[in-house]
Amino acid sequence: MDAREALPPILAEDNIRSILLLTSPSLLNSRYVQSLRGVMPPGTPIYGACRPHSPSSCVLEALELLKGRRPGGIVAVGGGSVIDTAKAVAIALWHDITSPDRLTELFSRPSRLNSAEAEPSPRIIAIPTTLSVAELSPIGGMLIEARSTKEVVGHQYAIPRSIIYDPSALLDTPRAILLSSGIKALDHAVEALCAVEANHFAAPLAERAVQLLGRTLDLIASAYDSGEMPLHSALGEAQLAAWMSATGPAHGVSVGASHAIGHALGAVCGVPHGLTSCVTLAPVLRWNQNYSAGPQFRIAEALTGQSDRQAGTAVEDLVRRLGLPTRLQEIGVSPDQLYDVAAASFADRCAATNCRTISSVEDIYELLLTVI
């Protein structure tokens, strides 16, 4: 769907007369964002400095840009970091939070869905430009730079009220970011399939997501490598697969060690989440092999069509075909950072829900040593 056609009716239906546009530096001056500005209310303020892992400083800068005004809506054009920044900004506006000393109030607390709480304003309209599917969750991450930790922010209404999936929105995203976000979506689907409490509704969708992502990411990469633009059909199927990949986590399926390590690599080393999945997913599958043999068989078959492949090898082969990194040092992580990453991973909530019990920091440290 063309976002330029979809956005005005959404604004009109919800009587939204003013918005805040959030995007990233790489997209701010893109043809896509410039074309969208033409269908936005005149004088729309734009915060175009969203950075990876949604630093708290970006949240505060976006709030400062508003100078105390409250827009009718927030339009987030970008990947997971932009959309997570929008979640934090929205929650801050609902509770009149504008100072660093009150940022802890944004951190996620248990909240009953469909409660009697009135719907707050502004809500988020998301136009994703990657495949990381942050738009399908009411929670997100926010980097607290002073502590090099990533905290969870969230609220039942922080999930975008409207999502516009426009294949054209992916075309201005750099090749490596787009493809690595596809591996992040694969990470969602794979860990949902391997979960201890796998969901019978989500599992078939996750398996189909694995199959579609394996095929469409190869098609997208081949187009770029041939000097061509990817077909809209391939981009649209990749968006569909990314949506399918999120059904597990969205319906209560807990992910595991690959997500825990990814969160830690982001907080400690500043590595974007797509790249973390490129490096962590295959070794975590190998480490978990004896504890998720059935799901891993289906994952390997979905990716390769062959029943005799190992899931970890199939994932690593896909990442290599896409020209993406598979080792920690390729993404800027040094050996002397490994223990800090392992400690942060062990403290992450996703470590506790890995299908193989993680007993200590040393378990993760030894796993990291295999991919340094």
pLDDT tens for 49-102 read: 999 889 999 999 999 999 989 999 999 999 999 999 999 999 999 999 988 888
Domain residue ranges in the chain: 3-167, 174-369
CA distance 172 to 92: 30
Q: pLDDT of 9-46, one tens digit each?
A: 999 999 999 999 999 998 999 999 999 999 999 999 99
CATH class (in words) of the domain with range 174-369: mainly alpha
Confidence of residue 308 (pLDDT cuts 50, 70, 90): confident
Distance, in Å, from the CA atom of 135 to the CA atom of 299, rounded to the nearest integer, reads: 25
Residues in the chain: 372
Examine residue 174 and say whether the peptide bond preceding it is cis (omega within 30 degrees of 0). no
Nearest-10 crossing angle of helices 311-321, 202-225: 30
Contacting residues for 102 by C-beta, under 8 A, at least 6 apart? none
The CATH number given to 3-167 is 3.40.50.1970
Of 110-124, 185-199, 356-370, highest mean pLDDT? 356-370
Amino acid symbol at 190: V
Contacts of 307 (CB under 8 A, 6+ apart): 297, 300, 301
**Cα–Cα distance measured from residue 128 to residue 238, given in angstroms and rounded to the nearest whole number:** 12
* End-to-end Cα, the chain, rounded Å: 42
Reading the block at residue 37, the tokens are: 């500005």
Alpha carbons within 13 angstroms on the beta-carbon side of residue 64 total 9
If one counts every other C-beta atom within 10 angstroms of the C-beta of residue 8, the result is 13
C-beta of residue 219 within 8 angstroms of C-beta of residue 230: yes
pTM over 0.75? The answer is: yes
Q: What is the mean pLDDT of residues 183-205?
A: 92
* 72 CB neighbour count, 10 Å cutoff: 16
Fold agreement (3-167, 174-369): no
Distant-in-sequence, close-in-space partners of 36: CB < 8 Å, separation ≥ 6: 3, 4, 7, 21, 75, 77, 127
Q: How confident is the model at residue 112 (pLDDT cuts 50, 70, 90)?
A: low
Task: Note the pLDDT of residue 110.
Answer: 47
Chain mean position to CA 315 = 18
Provide the token pair at 105.
């109030």
> What's the rounded Cα separation, in Å, for the pair 237 and 347?
36
Q: What angle do CA 141, 249, 193 make, to 5 degrees?
A: 130
Q: CA–CA separation, 300 vs 87, rounded Å?
A: 35
